[in-house]
Amino acid sequence: MAAKQYHIGFGADDIAGIDIAFLSGDPERATRIAEQYLTLEKPLSTVRALNSYIGVTPGGRRIVSATSGMGAPSLSIVVNELAQAGIRHIIRIGTCGSIQPHVLSGSVVISRAALTRQGAADDIAPREYPAAANPFWTMALVEAAQKRGADWHVGITASVDTFYEGQERTGSSYKPLLLRERVGAIGEYQHLRILNFEMESGTLFKMASAYGLAAACICAVIAARVEAEAPSHEAKVKAEAEAIRIAIGAVDGINPLYLGESYRW
């Protein structure tokens, strides 16, 4: 019998036959996905508040809905252990703040790559190593978003380690004064056509490529940074639901040929 992984609390025997996982930073989101959007098959674990479940999509595919925790270090542990348990495909369903005027609060961003400013990623691969999403899953997310008529965007994400300083928040931070290299980050990234800030995708993409996995990311835009620093609860409810439905649509709609060895770049 395969051992249960130390942090996530389950192992290969518990998810036999399943190789796709949804990964959410918020444990409550992982629970909502399993209980409200999938047909819940069984809970797996709540160890360390890393909630995880097996659910079935409307198309009949069994998947894991799991929690990564906040930030790249926690995600790196969970992704490593998911891979040891047999997961080969990971779709991150997260939240983000947009930095481009046309990317509105309440929309969704599908990341095709990430500018990665994360210490955890540096332990996985050199800084020059590309942080790119799997192209097949990225297109599956785009196609599912199109079918839903969602307000969607695809592009590059800035994946950073901190919510306040790293995303140039000064009005809502306890310490509004930033290091010199963090001042002007939003303007610089806008010039580089980066769409949004979040805190996990860069490390996820590097891990997936280095490990031979397939990963993608879709995020609900809960703050339009050209308007305000604070997240909008109304936008979160709307966009999170849309992102979840798009991810499920991608799983049920992806070409089965892309789920085999072809994901190994």
CB atoms within 10 A of CB 204: 34
Degrees to nearest 5, angle at CA 172 with 113 and 75: 35
Strand pairing category for 62-67 and 52-56: antiparallel
- Rounded distance between C-alpha atoms, residue 139 and residue 205, angstroms: 15
Residue with tokens 């590059």, as numbered in its chain: 156
- Rounded distance between C-alpha atoms, residue 119 and residue 64, angstroms: 27
CB atoms within 10 A of CB 130: 11
**Are the CB atoms for 239 and 222 separated by under 8 Å?**
yes
Active site residues: 7, 81, 169, 225
